[in-house]
Amino acid sequence: MKSINHTIEHLKPSGIRKYFDLANSMEGVISLGIGEPDFNTPWHISNAAIESFQNGCTHYTANRGLMELREAICDYYRDRFHVSYDPAKETLVTVGGSEAVDLCFRTLINPGDEVIVLDPNYVAYEPSILMAGGAPVYIQLSQDNDFKLTPEDLANALSEKTKAIMLNFPSNPTGGTMSREDYEKLIPLFEESGIYIISDEIYAELLFDGEFCSPASFDSIKDQVLVINGFSKAFAMTGWRLGYLLCNAKLSSQLTKVHQFIIMSAPTAAQYAAIEALQNGLPDTEEMKKEYEQRRNLLCSRLNRMGLRTNVPHGTFYVFPDISSTGLTSDQFCVQLLEKQKVAVVPGTAFGEHGEGFVRISYATSLENIKEACDRIEAFLDEVRGPALVTTEEAVLIF
């Protein structure tokens, strides 16, 4: 047989899927491994898709997506995040944030161009960069700094070959966020270098503390920013496969060219559902967020009390505890926890080399499951390490 594309051949499969599959093959497992809301899509949103079928809306839409949806997206970004885009020329509806990630790299990268990626980071970035012929350059994020990007780290990573930086705040897997003040320190470097800033804002609605800040809200760099967002997390719509990309008109027309040839147009019924989500779904998001916040608080305080140092994430539905005190690697921790106590979590190394010593725990599951999972994790820790030395009083302080 002839060889296939070498880059694809050497891509590692997602480290998340492996644990998901393993957990599914066992009885009685509590999975804290997956990255999707446990809520179903609110009914009025699903119903908008049903109505679109009843109205015969079963055809392709414009390549960029329905104009009514693009207008709703632009209204939403202006009202929620204070960033204005033109629905006709600067907005592209995609098949999930996933297509948007891929489109950005395909469109921006020439062979050998460097793309700065924060480590740990979302699993799809590195493969997408490699498939587009780019070279990822990593910045190690630190727990001590709440997994934020600093100007020093950015300055060290920039080179003549840097084409873009991939950002994702609030972050999967760390839950880290960047405030307006944090971004302000980076702006001079972004201006000077002229690099593209790809900002994956898929968790923007799931921010518990403070106000979400998009780098696109800084006028001096707005033209360099490509905003990625979608409906999966905010409106519990993972199965609908709908996202979008916002950027300047010149870039947007190039991105649309690629989208036109590989996708044509995003699913029509999902686009009608998305209009309903943006126009009437935000109260549902607020309800889901309250629930996530309650779960986050419980999980963080329990983990810290067990002696696993855990930063309280300001957003997303993940926590990223430091498990190095157990003396196990991330992978050993996950395999043994699954085998001994039937709790599935994901090793930090699935998100990059610097995820070693951490695991990602998703709290997109019921409070009841979280409580039971915490009891099991505690029993596991007692077995591998002995009971935690942290007193309740100290644990509250850490929290």
Q: Which residue is nearest to ligand PMP (CB)?
A: 96
CB of 240 to ligand PMP, least distance (A): 9
How far CA 192 is from CA of 182, 189, 195, 210, in Å, comes to 17, 5, 8, 29
Q: Which residues of this protein are in contact with ligand PMP, per CB under 6 A? A: 35, 96-98, 122, 168, 172, 200, 202, 230, 232, 238, 243
CA dihedral for 138, 144, 146, 150, sign (positive or negative): negative
Give the strand order in the sheet containing 359-362.
318-319, 359-362, 346-347
Q: Nearer to ligand PMP by C-beta: 94 or 304?
A: 94
Contacts of 312 (CB under 8 A, 6+ apart): 296, 297, 300, 399
Q: Nearer to ligand PMP by C-beta: 95 or 251?
A: 95
Q: Nearer to ligand PMP by C-beta: 304 or 316?
A: 316
CB of 191 to ligand PMP, least distance (A): 26
- Identify each DSSP E strand in 170-264 by its residue range: 196-200, 225-230, 243-246
Contacts of 189 (CB under 8 A, 6+ apart): 151, 154, 155, 158
CB of 84 to ligand PMP, least distance (A): 23
Q: Nearer to ligand PMP by C-beta: 42 or 96?
A: 96
Element (H, E) at 377: helix 367-385
Measured CA to CA, the distance from residue 298 to residue 384 in angstroms comes to 23
CB of 381 to ligand PMP, least distance (A): 28
CB of 234 to ligand PMP, least distance (A): 10
Q: Nearer to ligand PMP by C-beta: 203 or 272?
A: 203
CB of 131 to ligand PMP, least distance (A): 16
- State the DSSP string of 296-359: HHHHHHHHHHTT-B----SBSSEE--B-GGGT--HHHHHHHHHHHH-EE-EEGGGG-GGGTTBE
Residue 316: phi and psi, rounded to 5, are 75, -165
Q: Nearer to ligand PMP by C-beta: 90 or 201?
A: 201
DSSP tag of 259: H
CB of 115 to ligand PMP, least distance (A): 15
Measured CA to CA, the distance from residue 234 to residue 316 in angstroms comes to 10
With contact defined as beta carbons under 8 Å apart, do 330 and 323 qualify?
yes
Q: Nearer to ligand PMP by C-beta: 175 or 307?
A: 175
Q: Nearer to ligand PMP by C-beta: 168 or 256?
A: 168
CB of 202 to ligand PMP, least distance (A): 4
